């Protein structure tokens, strides 16, 4: 058995991924973890031993050299070898445990996918594919950057956002993974599932906001422990529950999916929420939250032809809003549905969403896509299918 001391941000799935075992193995060695919503820094986990590569360095061997030889990250070496510096020299004669080799793809799940994983992957993507341009359109309530990735040089502009709802965070890596596949195909001069990505790149500019609610995503995944600056009020808004898995709102308890000025007052009356809550509270006023305001400002300054907001779950595509949608919206949604196996749905009785506001404000096609099927947060096993379906839906728009 290996002893591991939990660090901030650790979850059962993340620890399992770091050590090349399954979450079930972690629970097997630590049965108490099955009954607790989150790990707490300082707890000790007992992890089963697994067969791993080992290496004993000699004099003058740098940590980064070992990482490069074995195709792993220096940080991954540190996880398995306590006291090892991120840079500098290895201790001669001290055997190192070598983690699993890094995979060729950048965007992969190593447990839950949160703001930290997003920042790391964006850094790697923009280095590997310099034609992906990164901008910051604002900051979250807790000061995290709201990133937008721009891909393509065309005069037609498409907006896509993901993880507006905190417990729908699996939409973030699904969107980013498709962007990586698109970029790789373009860099290598090949098609993506039969689509000409060179045409996409020349005709369209895609603006992607992969995680619109980073504070909420972290809360869902890691909870509000003693370190959290808003722990007491979050616990109160959450009804005293320790688990935040069901949380959709931002860190101020405002549902960003009800924040947009499209019959906002009617939606608030329908929801019946008068204060901060895990879901359905639209805030004190439309666009009161920095995350929603940043999305609106991006749309005001960029002439988007269409916009897509990725949510989960249901495998449905909503395309209308109070008759404000242009006539082509329905056929576009049906084409997206045919490409992905999703159902194009005429939706009534819902207001104040991003899609609603975009259609009303600009009279352009706007879509809410409910990725995957199940209960939020969707299981990690849905990631590959959701990535493919995200690509099929966006490819339908880009090739149309």
3-state secondary structure of 23: helix
Which pLDDT score is estimated for 79? 84
80 & 181 share domain: no
Give pLDDT tens digits for 201-226: 999 999 999 999 999 999 999 999 99
3-state secondary structure of 110: coil
125 & 65 share domain: no
In a domain, 224, yes or no: no
Give pLDDT tens digits for 317-343: 999 999 999 999 999 999 999 999 999
In a domain, 379, yes or no: yes
User: What mean pLDDT is predicted for residues 259-287?
Assistant: 97
In a domain, 281, yes or no: no
In Å, how far are 53, 55, 180, 183, 400 from 196, measured between CA atoms? 42, 45, 15, 12, 12
Residue ranges making up the domain that contains 64: 2-98
Which pLDDT score is estimated for 54? 83
Which pLDDT score is estimated for 278? 98
Instruction: Check which CATH number belongs to the domain holding 141 and give it.
Output: 3.40.630.10
- Whether residue 250 has pLDDT greater than 90: yes
State the catalytic residues: 370
Instruction: Check which CATH number belongs to the domain holding 76 and give it.
Output: 3.10.350.10
Relative to beta strand 304-312, strand 343-345 is unpaired
User: What mean pLDDT is predicted for residues 120-135?
Assistant: 97
In a domain, 38, yes or no: yes
198 & 319 share domain: yes
Crossing angle, helix 329-340 and helix 383-398, to 10 degrees?
140
Q: How many domains is the chain built from?
A: 2
Give pLDDT tens digits for 98-116: 887 666 799 999 899 999 9
Beta-bridged to residue 47, according to DSSP, are 2
293 & 377 share domain: yes
In a domain, 256, yes or no: no
In a domain, 17, yes or no: yes
Share of the chain above pLDDT 70, in %: 98
């Amino acid at each position: 058995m290996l002893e591991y001391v939990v660090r901030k941000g650790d979850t059962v799935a993340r620890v399992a991924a770091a050590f090349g075992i399954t979450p079930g193995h972690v629970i097997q060695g630590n049965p108490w973890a099955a009954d607790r919503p989150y790990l707490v820094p300082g707890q000790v986990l007992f992890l089963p031993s697994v067969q791993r590569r080992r290496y004993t360095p000699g004099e003058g061997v740098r940590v980064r050299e070992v990482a490069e030889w074995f195709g792993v990250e220096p940080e991954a070496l540190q996880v398995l070898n306590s006291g090892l510096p991120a840079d500098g020299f290895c201790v001669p004669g001290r055997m190192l445990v070598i983690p699993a080799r890094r995979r060729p793809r950048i965007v992969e799940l190593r447990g839950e996918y949160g703001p930290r994983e997003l920042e790391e992957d964006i850094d790697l993507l923009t280095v590997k594919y310099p034609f992906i341009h990164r901008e910051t359109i604002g900051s979250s309530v807790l000061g995290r950057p709201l990133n937008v990735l721009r891909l393509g040089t065309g005069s037609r502009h498409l907006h896509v956002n993901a993880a507006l709802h905190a417990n729908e965070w699996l939409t973030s890596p699904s969107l980013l993974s498709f962007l990586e596949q698109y970029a790789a195909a373009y860099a290598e001069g090949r098609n993506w599932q039969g689509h000409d990505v060179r045409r996409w790149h020349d005709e369209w500019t895609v603006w992607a906001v992969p995680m619109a609610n980073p504070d909420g995503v972290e809360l869902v995944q890691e909870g509000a422990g003693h370190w959290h600056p808003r722990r007491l009020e979050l616990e109160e808004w959450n009804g005293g529950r320790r688990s935040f898995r069901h949380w959709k709102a931002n860190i101020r308890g405002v549902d960003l999916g009800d924040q947009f000025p499209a019959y906002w007052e009617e939606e608030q009356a329908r929801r019946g929420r008068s204060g901060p809550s895990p879901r359905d509270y639209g805030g004190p006023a439309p666009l009161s939250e920095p995350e929603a305001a940043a999305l609106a400002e991006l749309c005001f300054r960029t002439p988007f032809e269409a916009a897509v907001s990725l949510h989960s779950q249901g495998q449905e595509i909503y395309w209308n809003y109070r008759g404000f949608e242009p006539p082509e919206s329905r056929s576009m949604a049906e084409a997206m549905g045919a490409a992905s196996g999703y159902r194009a749905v005429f939706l009534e009785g819902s207001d104040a969403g991003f899609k609603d506001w975009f259609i009303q404000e600009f009279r352009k096609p706007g879509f809410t896509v409910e990725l995957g099927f199940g209960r939020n947060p969707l299981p990690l096993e849905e990631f590959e299918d959701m990535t493919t379906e995200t690509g099929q839906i966006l490819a339908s728009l880009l090739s149309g």
